[in-house]
Structure 1
């Protein structure tokens, strides 16, 4: 199984075009001379490229390898994850995007300072940096290792080439280059998966026959309504637990929020979130159909024992190299698809890390930086994180099986960060002490459960296979850990009890469990240390969820549910009265909010750190 010249050419074309996009935006327009252009694409992007970039950011090579292998081995139960996409994207569109966009922030963690204080902002930023630095090296190294194991493609040549190309176009072209390369790479991913499905289906008699044979073999799963959170995949685990996972990705993750903020208007930002929904369904459908085609093709065209893959995450590449072996160029197209997933994820990580480092750590310490120096420093930060990614890829090669823990970190950290933002947005009584303690408690819980599950799974004899599945020998290489961590349970010995059973909590509930821990601990600590002075809370940082849910109550009761936060009245023209009740009419502004009052023809306006002014009526809920 080797690449032809055509395959290498197609793979090289992906890298050349990605670099060309970065060079184009580096040499056109304002040539990335301002921080606004480099980090936020001048806030002038339309909804469609933003939507495709949102899709590509977390459609990594891990998912392209792992989801078909999951369907091949365990059936179509995973397909029900698509049920979580509706709420997982609707809630960000109507709650998170309006708040972040109207605050006119650059880093998501600026919100934490506006809502709590600078300490909470720094804690959130450092947590995010830790999450992404660990993850991006693995995302780069894993597909290169899988490709090396199957095709003999030189491992470190692939790692260095992908890493350097990604660093080049991210550093030169900024967010605009990242978004447009994401669009191009998304199309490549669609093309690669479609090619495999079409050719594979034709060779086994069409999709109708594939579905029929898969149903006979028990691969078409029914709806399992078991509510047990320790069951690996059930309808409730995937549809409800998946909502929290989606919120941690599309609601508060800097890589995604930064794309919302690059849209030219709040409506375009919302529209991009709506557009992701059908795209996500298509991507999930293609991955699941690939798994079914793999299953039937393997039954009718089995590989020789010496050619069998050594781990489950190599199944897709073995299948692709076999089914496309007579069609030069198509294996190269699929490999380009695989590395497009890696490129889109890594470039988003570089750009978002440069943004939070610049906005949350550097700018507050160096307030006198000129625009040109700030832009240059932002580019150097993106370059530095690119080189750090290559270093993390090398570290990944040395860790071996411990990398299962490194991959788990991405999921374990996302839940506590989601809980921190939900604590601030939905609970006006929460204070900064509660936020910090809640975040630390959520991280402690996340690592306790995650690492406990990891150690328990490493102590197990091996991965059990479902009935009628192709038995795969247990492998101790890196790539085995990828699909295992993201798409298979942390398995333990038979009939676990006590803490061992607790460690068997389905990975789909991790975000829900950890975010709930942050909220509960944060509220408890806030009550014990003295509730936040709600009169000093900026109403734009709060979403009045209880007044909205209980909208049928009389106004005086709904006002009590606001916990003393004076929300502007959309239906009232008495803006001055609202401002006085919020302590702003006399120049009293919430401590640490960074607001200043300006007069504007009889109407009060507030401004956020030099951002364009917005009236209170415009930002009312």
Structure 2
């Protein structure tokens, strides 16, 4: 990064922290710290909800995934707009009327303290680990771009985020998310513009669409009903719907956002905003990955995108072997580049296209073989698997993007990581203080006391996230499995809330034991079947509703009467 990039980067973060402090001045007490005194409008909440979900891996990992697999990942998000409508109709009114601090507080009113504590504990366990992963995942990429040790990158992101979260609470988090989400939108537009500007002269939008099309990179819909396929239309519409309902309807990091709204209407508008904007945003991010794939038909891509892995192999006793693969890769790329220009020229002149297409397909196969062989070599040298998908977009940035713009785009990646982490910290702190400390340890404390404890809890969770991020690199598969782990819990938690909302005779015993049985069942499905993880959410929800309803039917009449009274 140049001096101009560093200036842009530094000014951006200084402005973000100052803006967060300014917006948080009106906070009053613990309700101000956790819920912004319930005075936020739908636009700010909507952007914050989106920023919470749009982590740095969404920005850099999704582009890399599209570079490898095309647009098929967009199916993952197709159920989300439907989920937002259901949340507006079913979930939000219950939460808004209850005047609660956390989603799990509602479950005690509906069921009992045991169910509340169990669901809140599951949230703390899953989100506490996720906070560390939110820090670690982008740090390993940013450390390469910026030339920092990854531990320094983790500490910088962690300290800045913890500082403004402690200082301003949820108000600072929401308004910081607003700024960072707007910057992310700008970053997407700038990245697309830069990509088109770096294409060879004479290669236009139609050519890019055509090259992507002949490689089926724009194909985004798979109609297969095979439950072992990760991304299909049905896994997205059904499994993705249940995942979105579980995430936005039961995860405190999301529920806390629309609890800050000044009215029920504002809460609903914030979610409807997400229903309309999230999928198009994701399409544009995926399109960056496809454009990178087309771009690297004209410019030679790295054989392995992670420079740290390349350095290790080149310095090993198998460096000559890797150099041979690189030479073959360079020759094959030049042949594909020539054939691609021939194909575009033939298309413009109306001549037969079959010959260049066949040659390009053969060169593609050879390049893919060389890439896989090189990754195998890297894995053998390092003693760990090689997965460089998260380095595709950052490698392009540091190689081709002009000074100044690079600093802004790197700030976008930092912003995405921090906007997810700050949301995790406020949610973890609120669940810790409200669901456990105030409920079980000190129910009669003053507002000032709870505010101090809330800031200390935020600091503690921030420290935990940083420490876990420093350690998580040794766990390898945990980062890859984070979405699967989330799906083990989300469907089951969703089932408990649906039981509370929809089954009038549901009892506390039904909810509690249905939740435990569902989590065990989902773990069994994950362990003993090949069913794709998106379907775990459907399994967990269905089992809680079934088992919880059956247990409730067998409950004593007195228990049913108590539950009906609570529901009313």
The TM-score, its normalising length taken from structure 1, stands at 0.74
8 Å Cα contact 2:508/2:563 also seen in 1:
no
1:127 to 114, 122, 128: 122
Give yes or no for the alignment of 1:395 onto 2:421. Answer: no
The alignment covers a number of residue pairs equal to 485
Instruction: Find the aligned partners of 2:181 and 2:535 in 1 and give their Cα distance.
Output: 28
Cα-to-partner distance string for 1:449-477 (whole Å, 9 max, x where unaligned): 44x3xxxxxxxxxxxxxxxxxxxxxxxxx
Output aligned runs, 1:101-120, within 5 Å.
101-120=96-115
Output aligned runs, 1:425-444, within 5 Å.
425-444=501-520
2:272 to 260, 271, 274: 274
- Name the CA shift for 1:291/1:435 in 2 (closer, same or farther; >3 Å): same
Cα-to-partner distance string for 1:241-298 (whole Å, 9 max, x where unaligned): 1111111121221111111111100111111111112220232122121111111011
Task: Give unmatched runs, 5+ long, in structure 1.
Answer: 453-498, 542-566, 568-621
Cα RMSD of the aligned pairs, angstroms, is 2.1
- Name the CA shift for 1:154/1:292 in 2 (closer, same or farther; >3 Å): same
Aligned with 1:300: secondary structure? coil
Query: What's the counterpart of residue 594 of structure 1?
Result: none
Q: What is the CA-CA distance between 1:18 and the residue it aligns to?
A: 2.6
Instruction: Find the aligned partners of 2:490 and 2:183 in 1 and give their Cα distance.
Output: 28
Cα-to-partner distance string for 1:556-613 (whole Å, 9 max, x where unaligned): xxxxxxxxxxx7xxxxxxxxxxxxxxxxxxxxxxxxxxxxxxxxxxxxxxxxxxxxxx
Q: Which has the higher helix share?
A: 2
Give yes or no for the alignment of 1:56 onto 2:51. Answer: yes
Query: What's the counterpart of residue 8 of structure 2?
Result: 10
1:194 to 152, 164, 189: 189
Cα-to-partner distance string for 1:403-461 (whole Å, 9 max, x where unaligned): 434553233222221111112111122211121112112222333444x3xxxxxxxxx
Instruction: Find the aligned partners of 2:482 and 2:247 in 1 and give their Cα distance.
Output: 18
Instruction: Find the aligned partners of 2:128 and 2:37 in 1 and give their Cα distance.
Output: 26
Query: What's the counterpart of residue 248 of structure 2?
Result: 250
8 Å Cα contact 2:75/2:220 also seen in 1:
no
Instruction: Find the aligned partners of 1:354 and 1:265 in 2 and give their Cα distance.
Output: 24
Q: What is the CA-CA distance between 1:15 and the residue it aligns to?
A: 2.4
Q: What is the CA-CA distance between 1:301 and the residue it aligns to?
A: 0.8
- Name the CA shift for 1:169/1:304 in 2 (closer, same or farther; >3 Å): closer
Q: What is the CA-CA distance between 1:518 and the residue it aligns to?
A: 2.1
Q: What is the CA-CA distance between 1:307 and the residue it aligns to?
A: 5.7
Instruction: Find the aligned partners of 1:148 and 1:277 in 2 and give their Cα distance.
Output: 34
Aligned with 1:305: secondary structure? coil
Give yes or no for the alignment of 1:68 onto 2:63. Answer: yes
Q: Which has the higher contact order (CA 8 A, sep 6+)?
A: 2
Cα-to-partner distance string for 1:298-350 (whole Å, 9 max, x where unaligned): 111122537676511211211222331xx102222221111111111110111
The TM-score, its normalising length taken from structure 2, stands at 0.81
Task: Give unmatched runs, 5+ long, in structure 2.
Answer: 308-385
Output aligned runs, 1:200-599, within 5 Å.
200-204=195-199, 205-221=203-219, 223-305=221-303, 311-324=388-401, 327-364=402-439, 365-406=441-482, 408-450=484-526, 452=527, 499=528, 502=529, 504-530=530-556, 533-537=559-563, 541=567
Cα-to-partner distance string for 1:378-399 (whole Å, 9 max, x where unaligned): 1111111111111111221332
Give yes or no for the alignment of 1:164 onto 2:240. Answer: no
- Name the CA shift for 1:222/1:378 in 2 (closer, same or farther; >3 Å): closer
Which has the higher mean CA deviation after the structures are superposed, 379-388 or 43-52?
Answer: 379-388
8 Å Cα contact 1:429/1:533 also seen in 2:
no
8 Å Cα contact 2:81/2:276 also seen in 1:
no
Instruction: Find the aligned partners of 1:60 and 1:307 in 2 and give their Cα distance.
Output: 21
Q: What is the CA-CA distance between 1:540 and the residue it aligns to?
A: 8.1
